[in-house]
Structure 1
Amino acid sequence: MAAQLALNNLNSPSRARSQKEEMLAGRYYFPFDKELVLERERCNGACWRFNSSTNPNNGVSPEERARQFRDILQPREPGRDSAISPTGNSPITPTGKVGENVVVEAPFNCDYGYNITIGQDVAIGKNCTILDTCEVKIGDRCNIGPNVNIYTASLPIDPKRRLGSRGPSLGQKITISDDCWIGGGVTILPGRTIGKGSTVGAGSIVTTDVPPYTVACGNPARVMRGISGS
């Protein structure tokens, strides 16, 4: 019986991994693959609906705005919006998470939404942009200032490999730990971790990890001092 199962497995053609699966695994992928383009279009639509709902003239309740924000991170059926149809290439789509007492000021923009996890009691300022090719985790009780950019996506350094719209991209996870303050205009580059209780000064470019309970500022961001009493 075991031998027959092994033979069947050998005879079954293996399914090629989709570009979405390559992206989620942190490997090189092609961002203009049809499935990924459709998913970004879905996310763009969800972001537009949330951002439009914050106009006070629209009369949208806070509860409805919260639901529309959840729809960005938790697509009920990816690809079902309007004329966008699912491609069926990838069997699994992750689901983002958002905790209680989260305040997000519009406009807010991201690429996919489902790679974003936001903890409890988080405040996110206006014009936050998250390129969530890979997982972005924002811990509990964080303050994210206005105009913050969180980029998980990068390109090959070798110009011969970049190839513009035909070239590959690569994603690396970003983690903002609990109790962090990310000042206005900060940019966090791929693969970085901001340690628990840390502060990143306004306008900084984070190119390396920030240790817990420190203050980091500058371009590139460097640790200026520790936070006493922590």
Structure 2
Amino acid sequence: MDNETRSMIPSWMYGAIRSLMRRISVHGNVVVGKNFRVGRGAIVGAPHELRIGNDVAIGPRSVVQVNGSIGDYVLIGMHVQIIGREDHEISEIGIPMTFATWVGNRRARPRDVVDIGRDVWIGASSIILGGVSIGEGSVIGAGAVVTRDVPSYSIVVGNPARVVGRRFKDEKERSSHGQLLTELSGQRHTD
């Protein structure tokens, strides 16, 4: 079943509504791939640069305001926050934090970046802080708080998030899955 069939929006309106949702939700220094979907009330922006791959869906009321990249086939649930950890300077003597240097007014730092691999599912109400990478094929459980890197094909839960399992039974299956994702990308997005 395709997205148009699942949607309550009539198919003849679907493209126009998706385009309008993107224009309302996406701002500042963001490049999106094909078939990008964004839910009601979502906010997507970056102080310097965010690249979003193909076939990415961001759920309602989610906030993505960070530099970095989001790979192809990523699902981001509702109420997810992907945010920086050092968005305002806290060490400027005599300057209230509300007036302190903002991340967009200084050079980018490694802790400003979140990189999310292909085929990642980020569960509802999760929080992902700047300075982390989430490996390909990972699952972030609902409500998890990700403060450090997540290995590929891991399943993480909790606060702080910890690995509780792996997708697929062995490295051969994980490698095969990665190769098939690459093939699928080539088939879906050739012009």
TM-score range, shorter chain: 0.5 to 0.7
Matching of residue 166 in structure 1 with residue 99 in structure 2: yes
| Structural RMSD (CA) | 2.8
Matching of residue 129 in structure 1 with residue 63 in structure 2: yes
Residue aligned with 1:67, SS: helix
Structure 2 CA distance, aligned partners of 1:179 and 1:161? 45
Q: Which structure is higher in strand share?
A: 2
Q: Decide which of 61, 66, 72 is 2:18's aligned counterpart.
A: 66
Amino acid at match of 2:84: T
- When residues 157 and 224 of structure 1 are mapped into structure 2, their CA distance, relative to the original with a 3 A threshold, is farther
- The answer to whether the 8 A contact 1:73-1:116 is kept is no
Residue aligned with 1:215, SS: strand
Q: CA shift at 1:196, angstroms?
A: 0.4
- Structure 1: where are the runs of 5+ without partners? 1-55, 76-92
Query: Hey, what does 1:101 align to over in structure 2?
Result: 35
- When residues 73 and 123 of structure 1 are mapped into structure 2, their CA distance, relative to the original with a 3 A threshold, is closer
Q: CA shift at 1:123, angstroms?
A: 1.9
Query: Hey, what does 2:136 align to over in structure 1?
Result: 196
Q: CA shift at 1:117, angstroms?
A: 2.1
Q: Which has the larger radius of gyration?
A: 1
- When residues 65 and 117 of structure 1 are mapped into structure 2, their CA distance, relative to the original with a 3 A threshold, is farther
Structure 2 CA distance, aligned partners of 1:113 and 1:72? 17
Query: Hey, what does 2:189 align to over in structure 1?
Result: none
Amino acid at match of 1:218: G
Matching of residue 223 in structure 1 with residue 140 in structure 2: no
Query: Hey, what does 2:119 align to over in structure 1?
Result: 179
- In the superposition, the TM-score normalised over structure 2's length comes to 0.67
Structure 2 CA distance, aligned partners of 1:215 and 1:221? 9
Query: Hey, what does 2:177 align to over in structure 1?
Result: none
Residue aligned with 2:156, SS: strand
* Match runs of 1:25-64 below 5 Å: 61-64=13-16
- The answer to whether the 8 A contact 1:138-1:176 is kept is yes
Structure 1 CA distance, aligned partners of 2:85 and 2:60? 21
- The answer to whether the 8 A contact 1:73-1:113 is kept is no
Residue aligned with 1:61, SS: helix
The size of the alignment, in residue pairs, is: 152
Q: CA shift at 1:124, angstroms?
A: 1.6
Structure 2 CA distance, aligned partners of 1:202 and 1:176? 16
Q: CA shift at 1:71, angstroms?
A: 3.6
- Structure 2: where are the runs of 5+ without partners? 1-8, 175-191
Q: CA shift at 1:144, angstroms?
A: 0.6
Query: Hey, what does 1:149 align to over in structure 2?
Result: 81
- In the superposition, the TM-score normalised over structure 1's length comes to 0.57
